[in-house]
Amino acid sequence: MRWCTVSEPEQRKCAELAKALVAVLPPAEVTAFARLSCILASSTTDCIERIRANRADIVTLDAGEVYSAVKQFGLVAVAKEIYNDGGCILSVAVVRNSSLDVRSLEGVRSCHSGARWTAGWSLPLGFLLSRNYLSWSKEQPLSQDVSAFFNSSCVPGAAAMAPSLCSLCQGQKSYIRNKNYHCETSHSEPFYNSQGALRCLRSGAGDVAFVDHLALQSIEESEWDEFRLLCTDGTQAPLSLYRSCNLGRGPGGALVTRPNLRKIARKFIQIIQAQFGPKGKERLRFQLFNSSAFGENDLLFKDVTDKLAILTVDEDISQVLGLDYVALLKGLGHEGSSLDDSVIRWCCISQAEQTKCEQWALSIKSDPLVCVRAASMAHCVEKIKRDEVDAASLDATHTFIAGKCGLVPVVTEYYGAKCLSAVEGSTHLETDVLPSIVGVALAKRASRSIFIGNLGSRRSCHSYMYSPAGWLLPHQFTLSLEHNTSSPCNPDQVYNEVFWKGCLPGSEGNLCKVCMGGTEDAPSKRCADNHNERYYGNMGALRCLVGDPTGKSYGEVAFLEQHNLQANILKWETCNLGAIPPNTVMTRPVLTARVYDFLMKSQEALAANPDTTFKIFESHQYTESDLLFKDATKCFVHTSHKDYRSILGEEFYQHAETVFNCTHSDLLELISPYVGKMRLLLRTFALNTAGGSRTLCSGVLHFVPPVSSTDVQYVEQLQDFVSRARHLFVLTGAGLSTESGIPDYRSEKVGLYARTTRRPMDHMEFVRSAKSRQRYWARNFVGWPQFSSHQPNTAHKALQQWEQRSKLHWLVTQNVDALHSKAGQRRLTELHGCIHRVICLGCSNISGREDLQRRFENLNPEWTAHAGAVAPDGDVFLEDEQVLNFRVPPCGHCGGILKPHVTFFGDSVSKPKVQFVHEKLAESDAVLVVGSSLQVYSGYRFLLAANDRKIPVAIINIGSTRADHLAQIKVSGRCGDVLSLIQTL
């Protein structure tokens, strides 16, 4: 194996590694897999060329160079650096001048880690372009505009791009290639890599340094006050806040080789890591990830590398580096200029939209417009994310989804009365006021008995899946008095429970039975989430309300936006479902300026030709409405400088987030793909909650305490923890069940201890006091129908799947709700018993709780009570006078006292059960705590035992726990959100 090095210090470290391999491995193994020679090159670019030409075999590169090596030189990635906080890096802008901010960087002197490097080039430039702080004409390479933007720079590796990008560099100059180190990606250039860029800033040569967050670890704490970070909102922050104050996240470094060497390279990497990694057998002889002995930083690998993740599957580079990052590199021209750079690909969701789009393309003389078909608006978001199209105008809900997926606004549709512009004839407007539209619920005038509140078992018409008026807004109202007991926050669940059947294009089951499909001239699948469904959209919902000629497919109520109404509906301003923010054109960050320029040129071309038959904001000639843009649009408002959240408004944003926190969507899996085994698909929005708090659903989730955003690095660490475990011991608590709608006692602000003076039933009080038993059983009788109806949530199901895949060795739950059993868990111990069973304190006979419920009903046929709030133990709050006449049956076998088969407060878990759990713990190699504060000793004791046995511990919980000091990893987040991300490999 010939390792390519780029400096004398790196050559020396490589040579020491070669010696160490010979010293510790058997000669046969050295000959077969571990013979190492070191090839000195002038730069990383030289290394790439040498490897392609078979004059070297392997090198570690920044992710930006990995992309170039793979796409332009045919190399392959075989391993990735994983750092102690995950496999990604953050790009940070470091300054010493307190007056600088990210909006005033034009004309300053800049220091960069490397040309086309992730943290030093691609992420910061992508950010500057997305905010229009940096302009790129596309008529010349980006490097030319960057060199004009900064006063002077040092960008190692940029010598061939623009001379001024190397003007601050300090390396030796020479006409002899092997002796020229000026502006090279080599340690012989003093300002090379992130450490070098910081050196550039320290020396006073530069005003700002673009580096990765890992380099901040090299700054002594005594120096931290000398430096500040530039944040995206125009403020500054101390170095310690790099997680919230950065310019973006990207993949870390990786090792590349030729395709024919990938198997040997993987084996070689496994050997050197097993011997000299942080946990290697011979780490005292040689430290793979430490360069201090050689007088430089980051030799062969970054010094902060925790391990190398072998890429055992031959994945596409988009999977290795991530879709977002690859799209960014393409947008920055990493593959060179091409025809694609001048083409705008617009997303169309139906044949009608495609026809209009093609007419648009023929009517303009700006950059070429290509019309690309997708299956739905959600599919457009996916295609933009995957770099298959460039832009689409999205409704407010899809704008929310797109924003969570990393897309950004370009322009927003304006629905005001007039578009006044500084340029006569222009349809572009600059304003901070964005008029909204409203959602309405319509019924036929003849249907006078229909109103909000009695829609149960009727036929419904909705515009389409995820639409603001047809899907998001209606569910927040009491649509049916008969179906208002559970108040679920998932709209799909609400509509399925309330309506007999309906048409919600993009849905399934009963909510598709009223849909029509296409016309005879253009037949299509029924319930399609686009205009190919006759009842799709606002006009489609109206058609649905009117019904088809056969009289079979019709609705009794329609949920849609008011702007499409032609009829004289007078009171929509006061009688509506709520305000809806305008549609917004969304794209990838690096394309905002290009898409904006295209739209403006397009508008100018159309305005200059008023006689053209094509009207961009009209759709009636295509026998549809709202094609590409809403027909109510008067012009565009420039909003690329705004955050999508501010466009939506806080009220709508919070409502959307509340709903999506408990609504599954396959689209959400697009967010933040990670590398190899560390690739975590974020399926919900809980891990990206901005601002640290949120409003939760009014139904199932209002017992879950607020949670600030979960740091992805801890989820990555948890993924690694679970992947390494072979016999995982899981301990669950009440925090798991709160996500199924069952409250707990201890959660901060929302637990019963925080909200009431109510305390759990005491064992001795229950045994000694007939009055206490009467009060308990009366409350339990009233609460039982609801308590017993609770179902397993995402977390329960994930743990059951872990058991099926032999990842989970044993599960111990402190909960008494039987939700693990309902989920199908078999390797299970219910530590505190199960409230679905009843035990006689006299004869120890065990019976089912449902049987006792029937006995209660027979004994108390006339007894009624008005229930208060629900409690964690399966009962409800009742006033004492309400329970006076409630009768409690005795044991049917011996006449003894009946008690729930659970461990009440003040009682203890049986010794045989405790001993059994200890045995299961001893058979395990890792412990995961899920949703427990561990305040009760009955569960906490097993964490102490795990610590004594040196068994590693990880905890998922909102808030602190009694065992935080024993945990190797602590993830603060909702159990279902976090567990759904973890892959059991």
- Whether residue 87 is annotated as binding a ligand: the answer is no
Q: Which helix (H) or strand (E) holds 254?
A: strand 254-257
Nearest CA among 45, 8, 316 for reference residue 184: 45
- Whether residue 954 is annotated as binding a ligand: the answer is no
- Whether residue 894 is annotated as binding a ligand: the answer is yes
- Whether residue 959 is annotated as binding a ligand: the answer is yes
> Which token pair is 228?
């500040």
Please provide the DSSP assignment of 445-502 as one string.
TT-TT--TBB-TT-EEEES-TT-IIIIITGGGS--BGGG-SS--S-HHHHHHHH-SEE
Nearest CA among 229, 240, 214, 250 for reference residue 121: 250
**Under 8 Å between Cβ of 282 and 276:** yes
- Whether residue 547 is annotated as binding a ligand: the answer is no
- Whether residue 474 is annotated as binding a ligand: the answer is no
* Distance of alpha carbon 851 from alpha carbon 49, whole angstroms: 78
- Whether residue 555 is annotated as binding a ligand: the answer is no
> Which token pair is 329?
């590199």
- Whether residue 835 is annotated as binding a ligand: the answer is no
- Whether residue 750 is annotated as binding a ligand: the answer is yes
- Whether residue 622 is annotated as binding a ligand: the answer is no
- Whether residue 891 is annotated as binding a ligand: the answer is yes
Nearest CA among 521, 570, 511, 568 for reference residue 541: 511
* Distance of alpha carbon 26 from alpha carbon 24, whole angstroms: 7
* Distance of alpha carbon 192 from alpha carbon 163, whole angstroms: 16
Q: Is 832 one of the annotated active-site residues of the chain?
A: yes
**Under 8 Å between Cβ of 273 and 288:** yes
Biggest CA–CA distance in the chain, Å, is: 103
- Whether residue 738 is annotated as binding a ligand: the answer is yes
- Whether residue 815 is annotated as binding a ligand: the answer is yes
Phi, psi of 700 (to 5 degrees): -55, -40
- Whether residue 860 is annotated as binding a ligand: the answer is no
- Whether residue 957 is annotated as binding a ligand: the answer is yes
- Whether residue 79 is annotated as binding a ligand: the answer is no
Burial group, residue 944, by CB count within 10 angstroms (0-12, 13-18, 19+): middle
How many helices (DSSP H) and strands (DSSP E) are in the chain? 29, 34
Which segments within 43-87 are labelled E, that is strand? 59-61, 76-83
Q: Is 974 helix (H, G, I), strand (E, B) or coil?
A: coil
The residues facing 561 across adjacent strands are 439
- Whether residue 14 is annotated as binding a ligand: the answer is no
- Whether residue 461 is annotated as binding a ligand: the answer is no
> Which token pair is 209?
């340094």
428, 531, 832, 836: which is the annotated catalytic residue? 832
- Whether residue 751 is annotated as binding a ligand: the answer is yes
User: Helices 262-276 and 8-24 meet at what angle, rounded to 10?
Assistant: 80
CB burial of 415-438 (b: ≥16 within 10 Å; e: otherwise) equals bbeebeeeeeebbbbebeebbebb
Torsion of CA 591, 596, 599, 603, to 10 degrees: -160
- Whether residue 733 is annotated as binding a ligand: the answer is yes
- Whether residue 298 is annotated as binding a ligand: the answer is no
* Distance of alpha carbon 79 from alpha carbon 100, whole angstroms: 39
- Whether residue 816 is annotated as binding a ligand: the answer is yes
- Whether residue 734 is annotated as binding a ligand: the answer is yes
- Whether residue 749 is annotated as binding a ligand: the answer is yes
- Whether residue 357 is annotated as binding a ligand: the answer is no
Q: At which residue do the structure tokens 């006409």 appear? A: 175
- Whether residue 83 is annotated as binding a ligand: the answer is no
- Whether residue 320 is annotated as binding a ligand: the answer is no
The residues facing 393 across adjacent strands are 585
Query: Who's near 508: CB < 8 A, 6+ residues apart?
Result: 527
Q: At which residue do the structure tokens 């705008």 appear? A: 344
- Whether residue 739 is annotated as binding a ligand: the answer is yes
In eight-state DSSP terms, residue 773 is: H
Residues comprising the binding site? 733-753, 814-817, 840, 843, 891, 894, 931-933, 957-959, 975
Residues comprising the binding site for NAD(+)? 733-753, 814-817, 931-933, 957-959, 975
Residues comprising the binding site for Zn(2+)? 840, 843, 891, 894
Q: Annotated catalytic sites, by residue?
A: 832
